[in-house]
Amino acid sequence: MTVNAPDAKVTPAVWGALAIVYVVWGSTYLAIALAVETIPPMFSGAMRFFTAAALLGGFLLVRSGREAFRMTRRQFFGAALVGLLLLTLGNGMVAVAEQHISTGLAALLVASVPLWLVVFRFAVRDRPQPLTLAGVLVGLVGVAALSLTGGEAGSTVGIVIILFGSLTWAVGSFLSARIAMPANAFATSAVEMLAGGLGLLLLGFVTGERLDLTAISGRSWAGLVYLILVGSLIGFTSFAWLLGHAPISLVSTYAYVNPAVAVALGALVLSEPVTIQVVAGGLIILVGVALVISTERSKRAERVGERVDGEGDVGLGVGGRHEPQPARHHVDAPVE
């Protein structure tokens, strides 16, 4: 999927799709919290991703035929590995953590994913710019502030779980740009969801989860259906369309807006407290992320100016080559 140049025209359709991504991906934290009220977290994730994979795969098959699923064995297992990291461990840990911490706190901690991506770049000797490193340090201060002062009593376990999930999401995003992946973005996402759902199902059995369909409340069913139809399908479709029709600098703003939406919905619907510590820590994280993304975007613009022959993409994004920005093919932003 090709990302448009920074000067791509911003149309009303772009603003509409961006609004969908803002609201939908910000609201999935609330939907997850509702789902896990009466559905075990691993099994709820498995139900979500198996169903979404079937719907997305069926749509793609009808629309593009079997050719859309053409991929090598290496590409298939690459997408499956990324799905396990992003969805089984990344999304799965968010569902578990939200049994212990508020949805707003979870969203703010997950917003730190771009910071971890910069840290991983050192492993491949890709040294970030000084301003990028400054953004990482600022963001990590915010993470520390939230972890130490932002949670309610007994939330330490949830904070540790959510940070682990954020790290695995970052690892999956980092690897996705460096291993063989299918060419079709929708087929890639279908494989990721299938593998992620299978991983969650196995984890559910291993951890002793029990699913009683008669005990599932209407709120939990509503949350699960919302995650499948709105979060995984409508949200992803809008995001995928934006990557081909809008400047990446505009698309990447979801990283700042989603946590704010999550905090607001948690307070309005679940009456979650919004303390000054949570607000301060969250703002520090978002300032760090903004500094990282804006600095890396400037570096990409310089590269684009140097590569006037148009050979390939300069890789921008969680699914790009180096820059910690949105994925080019994943079904989720961190926790969609």
Report the percent of the chain where pLDDT is more than 70: 83
Q: Is the pLDDT of residue 315 over 60?
A: no
Query: What's the pTM value of the predicted model, to 2 decimals?
Result: 0.82
Q: What is the pLDDT at residue 292?
A: 82
pLDDT tens for each residue of 158-171: 999 999 999 999 89
Q: What's the mean pLDDT when you consider all of the chain? A: 83
Q: What is the pLDDT at residue 326?
A: 39
pLDDT tens for each residue of 81-112: 999 999 999 999 999 999 999 998 899 888 88
Least confident of 16-20, 27-31, 220-224, 272-276: 272-276
pLDDT tens for each residue of 16-51: 999 999 999 999 999 999 999 999 999 999 999 999
Q: Which helix (H) or strand (E) holds 241?
A: helix 236-245
Q: Is the pLDDT of residue 298 over 70?
A: no
Query: How many Cα atoms occupy the beta-carbon half-sphere of 4 within 13 Å?
Result: 19
Q: What is the pLDDT at residue 226?
A: 97
3-class DSSP state of 151: coil
Q: What number of helices (H) and strands (E) belong to the chain?
A: 14, 0
Q: What is the DSSP string of 155-221?
A: -HHHHHHHHHHHHHHHHHHHHHTTS---S-HHHHHHHHHHHHHHHHHHHHHHTT----GGG--HHHH
3-class DSSP state of 323: strand
CA torsion angle 151 157 162 164 (round to 10):
140
CA distance 323 to 307: 17
Tell me the residue length of the chain: 336
CA 154 to chain centre: 26
CA distance 198 to 263: 30
Q: What is the pLDDT at residue 11?
A: 85
Q: What is the pLDDT at residue 43?
A: 97
Q: What is the pLDDT at residue 314?
A: 30
CA distance 91 to 203: 13
Vertex 25 angle, CA 263 and 173, to 5°: 110
pLDDT greater at residue 303 or residue 202: 202
| Nearest one of 28, 34, 29 to 217, comparing CA atoms | 34
Vertex 329 angle, CA 293 and 139, to 5°: 25
**Residue 14 and residue 242 in contact, taking contact as beta carbons nearer than 8 Å:** yes
**Residue 325 and residue 296 in contact, taking contact as beta carbons nearer than 8 Å:** yes
Write out the two tokens for 248: 């990446």
**Could you give phi then psi for residue 323, rounded to 5 degrees?**
-75, 135
CA 5 to chain centre: 23
- Residue 125: left if φ>0, alpha if ψ -120 to 50, beta else—which one? left
